[in-house]
Structure 1
Amino acid sequence: MIVKRLQDVIGTENDVDTETWNSRRLLLKHEGMGFSLHDTIIKAGTETLIWYRNHLEAVYCIEGEGEIETTDDGKIYPISAGTVYALDKNDRHLLRATKDMRMVCVFNPPLTGQEVHDSEGVYPLVKEDENAA
């Protein structure tokens, strides 16, 4: 059984803080669950280009407000506590926060832990043998 507390992740290498978001990575690829689980803060007043070309992601907002805009069609979807969205088509999007948004994020395939978005908003796909635990 795996048991963790958010407070045990904060301030460690699994607490990845950037200019627009802070992802506390709770479950990662090496734990063998087939997905990764993250507690993420999207910082108020920011906009982030994201394109999970190599991953599917489901997101559940538990605090805050903002919006997601899909770049292919320009559709804008409001986000607030209780909203879930799933990027089931590897949707390229802009994520904007008007208030800090706290999100629970699930990735498949799972992340290794230290990924950050490249210039296109993409996380790299790490092969199993590159992240042996």
Structure 2
Amino acid sequence: MKLSVYLSGEIHTDWREKIIQGCQESNLNIVFSSAVTHHETSDSAGDHLGAETEQFWRDNKSAKVNAIRTKTLIERCDVAIIRFGDKYKQWNAAFDAGYCAALDKPYITLHSEELIHPLKEVDASAQAWATSVEKVITTLKYISSN
């Protein structure tokens, strides 16, 4: 079975690359997509639509352009992996989880045990919670097997 997997959340570690590599090494038939993970590129996504004099409006315009990409990729995926890191608050990841829940799109959360309490509502709607990339890969192996 071919799966489409959307990778959402924390951008400061290599968890995406590890999942992709682990799935490739296991010969899983998975196509991965993700939000733009380069800060400057994401922050300037709406700049081509015209200059803004206030930061709020620049951020607002770029957020809307980024949302076109995110919403489209989430709607097209079979399952989303949503990573919450320990160092920064990933408000965008929480939003993506909520969007998945609203669409009844299956998602797996990936985070440490220290975040169980603050993410209890997000995890309650998830189909699985993993504490490591390896557990995510094992889950993907199971759901993509014939």
Q: Above 0.5 in TM-score? A: no
| TM-score (structure 1 length as normaliser) | 0.27
More strand by share: 1
| TM-score (structure 2 length as normaliser) | 0.25
